[in-house]
Amino acid sequence: MSIVRISHPTKRIKARITVPGSKSESNRLLILNALSGNKLTLENLSTARDTRQLVQILSEEKKTIDVLDAGTSMRFLTGYYCASNQHKIITGSERMKERPIGPLVSALSEIGFDVRYLDKEGFPPIEIVPVKFDRLEKEAFIEGNVSSQFITALLLIAPSLPNGLRLNFTTELTSRPYIEMTLQILQNSGVKYDWTDNVIEVKPHKLQTGAFSVGGDWSSASYWYSIAFLAEEAEIFLEGMKDDWTQGDQAIVDWMKRFGVITEFNSQGALLRKIKVEYPKLMKMSFKDNPDLAQTFAAMFAAKNIYATFNGVETLKIKETDRIEALRNELRKFNVHFDYSEMYEFYQLKGTVRVPEVPIKTYNDHRMAMSFAPLGLLGEIHIEDPQVVEKSYPTFWSDLVKAGFKISSIQ
């Protein structure tokens, strides 16, 4: 098992960093491009392992597809292979086989597609069998509070369906900004839709040629906001970050103002500067729309002894790992507790931080590694399996070195 040692000798940071292109935008555009017959021109695609893997899968003609631990690929490819009427088997890692796909399969079955479970009902692996498109229905129903990727998988194929799609949500939505991102990308491709109350209706549309440039990834940028906040001084320029709000995690720009990290945009990217402010020591945070930011804030608040209540984090239990349990285990090493309050139905973060001598486990989860890495500004910390960052931000460790962090392998 590999372990890295992380620290920062000066705690003063001045750096220029190129954040990877958005994995979320890239993977959506790759599916649309495949549905268009590869007529789109895509620029600044993410260098994340998940995106590189999706590019490879879409170029192959294998019957059995192994997405490993890429949840986005599992969901998006399920929709894509249905819409392109291909006979495929999709499988993945052991953890992937524990992550639900039932709501998506049910919705696809309502439309008229033939998707079969090959092991445990509601979970991968699955088999997709070709059907007659003239028998497809227009309407489907789906739970909105399990995964926005189920909804995106359906919306991406909607323009390719003979009658389009009328998608009804049977519960409240989680991660709404990710659905809005999908619709914005569709709209930029000429697709017309209507969203009224709990129903999205997408008209059929033949995708035309077009050029798309992927923006920098705001989920990845969030770790630099944490670094700026924890440093004594910070001036960090993030190249390629756009002020266009396509990505919901850009909410961190406003969220971090109260903690003294301000953002200035220009045509090349975003400048993060730390200023002195009296920041709150007690916070109430909802991550219903931005679950990928929860780990960033949990580690950052722990580092500054900020007591906080978190809600809207239920979907974290079905990610690459059970992120709630992972946070609970690793924060405890810092003498910080992250516990559920049954009475008030939220997670409470509290404790007086101390730097642990034992390594931080990452649970094969890229966001665990990157959320805890900024705590190297408190003192020397150790993180296991640093290679997990390949999933979304392959240059993360070398970028930390550019910012003055000392990083070395100890095992």
**Whole-number Å distance between alpha carbons of 391 and 400:** 17
From the candidates 292, 365, 385, 399, which is the catalytic residue? 292
Using only C-alpha atoms, what is the Rg of the chain?
A: 21
CA atoms lying within 13 Å on the CB side of residue 223: 28
Of 184, 204, 197, 259, the closest CA to residue 227 belongs to: 259
**Whole-number Å distance between alpha carbons of 146 and 314:** 9
Active-site annotation holds for 385: no
Of 54, 125, 1, the closest CA to residue 385 belongs to: 1
Of 405, 408, 396, the closest CA to residue 13 belongs to: 405
Token look-up 């490819």 returns 77
Omega into 125 within 30° of 0, i.e. cis?
A: yes
Residue 162 contacts residue 134 (beta carbons within 8 Å): yes
* Widest pairwise Cα distance in the chain: 66
Of 13, 31, 77, the closest CA to residue 212 belongs to: 31
**Whole-number Å distance between alpha carbons of 89 and 335:** 45
Residue 29 contacts residue 42 (beta carbons within 8 Å): yes
Active site residues per annotation: 292
